[in-house]
């Protein structure tokens, strides 16, 4: 089978035109790859354009504040990726004299950058022959060759990498990788139309009736459930609405993002227990235990390893509360809409 000949012919007809394709700016390719780990191409385009407009170079990204970076990232989730990019940009400026690494090994030294992204940057920006292996590539190659090693494991990565290293076009690894990714996402889809596929004659999964069974996925851990109550305390002063938020510290995924006062539980609370907890919190933290409040509907929010059941509790006060914990900051409603927040709080604020 002339793998690359067939794949290239398909790519010439159906390959995507993307703003980060056909460029050799390693920084922009890096930005696009990290964004695409979070979202689909259509939505990723907008984020990409906004991000590189705000931070056109690695120097600009390094010079930005963490809050500015997180704000551009808002809505994509997995904020640790944005924080890692920010740290990596600073490393490039401070330790490498502003020179973006131009080898696969050098790229792997950047924080948060794994073998997939290193291969993408190395091949797209520098034409180095490292195959990219993402979910789409795993799907296509596992079916074509009938490979049933559970994907996402180190053993599968090594096996697929060895195979692709034998197939890759060493003159144009950039085109090879782009074609591989596009073929996996556009042609060898989860439910593919195999009759139209240029590899239909040699595809092992098709011949053996295993298309729906491949790739084999490693079993996932069941997500933990959490019940969150965000207390949105607010009051008006001179025609403006104010409230209280804190910037999250610690090591969690929302570190550096702003949020309302949070009550978090491992089990759902009944009405009486919720009333008691809210009264206690309002009294002890803000000295307004008797204030009227309104509990909103439950929203479900899915994180990789957690299912969150979230309710916002609106508390309208006549004036600023008597007490205020040190970490809480007074922000106007307009300011709340500008600081970086988790996606579910952004959704809530947009509704106000």
Residues near ligand SF4 (CB under 6 A):
140, 143-144, 187-188, 192, 194, 197, 199-200, 203, 205-206, 211
Q: Which residues of 129-153 are buried (b: 16+ CB within 10 A; e: fewer)?
A: bbbbbbbbbbbbbbbbbebebebee
User: CB of residue 8 vs ligand SF4: minimum separation in angstroms?
Assistant: 15
Residue 262 to residue 48: CA distance in whole angstroms: 32
Backbone angles phi, psi at 135, to 5 degrees: -60, -40
- From the list 8, 33, 264, 327, the catalytic residue is 33
Residue 309 to residue 122: CA distance in whole angstroms: 41
Query: How far, CA to CA in Å, does 235 sit from each of 260, 277, 319, 349?
Result: 14, 21, 5, 15
User: CB of residue 177 vs ligand SF4: minimum separation in angstroms?
Assistant: 17
> Does residue 315 contact residue 282 with C-beta atoms inside 8 Å?
yes
The token pair that represents 71 in the structure block: 């704000």
Q: Measured from the CB atom, is 11 or 20 closer to ligand SF4? A: 11
Residue with tokens 């009294």: 283
The token pair that represents 279 in the structure block: 């009264």
- Please report which helix (H) or strand (E) contains residue 309, including its range: strand 306-317
Residue with tokens 């309002």: 282
User: CB of residue 143 vs ligand SF4: minimum separation in angstroms?
Assistant: 4
42 noted as active-site residue: no
Q: Measured from the CB atom, is 101 or 192 closer to ligand SF4? A: 192
> What's the full length of the chain, in residues?
352
Q: Measured from the CB atom, is 83 or 206 closer to ligand SF4? A: 206
Q: Which of 44, 45, 34, 215 is nearest to 137 (CA)?
A: 215
User: CB of residue 180 vs ligand SF4: minimum separation in angstroms?
Assistant: 12
User: CB of residue 151 vs ligand SF4: minimum separation in angstroms?
Assistant: 15
What torsion, rounded to 10 degrees, do the Cα atoms 271, 277, 278, 281 define?
180
User: CB of residue 198 vs ligand SF4: minimum separation in angstroms?
Assistant: 8
Q: Measured from the CB atom, is 10 or 229 closer to ligand SF4? A: 10
Whether the bond into 94 is cis, omega within 30 of 0: no
Q: Measured from the CB atom, is 204 or 331 closer to ligand SF4? A: 204
Q: Measured from the CB atom, is 202 or 240 closer to ligand SF4? A: 202
Among all residues, which ones are annotated catalytic?
Answer: 33
């Amino acid at each position: 089978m002339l793998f690359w000949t067939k794949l290239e012919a398909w790519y010439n007809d159906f390959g995507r035109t993307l703003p980060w394709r056909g460029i050799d700016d390693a920084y922009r390719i890096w930005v696009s790859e990290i964004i695409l780990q979070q979202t689909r191409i259509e939505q990723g385009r907008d984020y990409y354009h906004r991000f590189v407009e705000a931070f056109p170079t690695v120097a600009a990204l390094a010079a930005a504040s963490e809050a500015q970076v997180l704000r551009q990232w808002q809505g994509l989730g997995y904020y640790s990726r944005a924080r890692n990019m920010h740290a990596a940009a600073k490393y490039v400026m401070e330790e490498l004299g502003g020179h973006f690494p131009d080898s696969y090994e050098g790229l792997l030294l950047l924080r948060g950058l794994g073998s997939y992204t290193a291969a993408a940057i190395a091949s797209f920006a520098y034409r180095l022959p490292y195959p990219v292996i993402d979910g789409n590539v795993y799907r296509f190659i596992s079916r074509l060759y009938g490979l049933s090693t559970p994907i996402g494991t180190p053993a599968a990565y090594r096996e697929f990498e060895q195979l692709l290293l034998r197939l890759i076009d060493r003159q144009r690894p950039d085109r090879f990788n782009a074609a591989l990714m596009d073929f996996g996402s556009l042609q060898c889809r989860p439910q593919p139309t195999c009759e139209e596929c240029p590899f239909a004659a040699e595809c092992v999964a098709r011949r053996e009736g295993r298309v729906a069974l491949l790739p084999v996925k490693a079993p996932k851990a069941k997500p933990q459930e959490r019940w969150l109550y965000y207390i949105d305390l607010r009051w008006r002063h001179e025609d403006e609405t104010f409230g209280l938020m804190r910037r999250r510290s610690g090591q969690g995924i929302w570190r550096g993002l702003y949020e309302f006062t949070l009550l978090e539980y491992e089990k759902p609370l009944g009405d009486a227990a919720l009333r008691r907890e809210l009264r206690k919190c309002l009294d002890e933290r803000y000295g307004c235990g008797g204030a009227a409040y309104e509990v909103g509907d439950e929203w479900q929010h899915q994180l990789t390893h957690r299912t969150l059941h979230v309710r916002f509790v609106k508390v309208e006060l006549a004036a600023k509360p008597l007490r205020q914990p040190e970490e809480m900051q007074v922000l106007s409603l307009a300011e709340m809409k500008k600081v970086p927040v988790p996606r579910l709080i952004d959704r809530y604020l947009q509704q106000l």
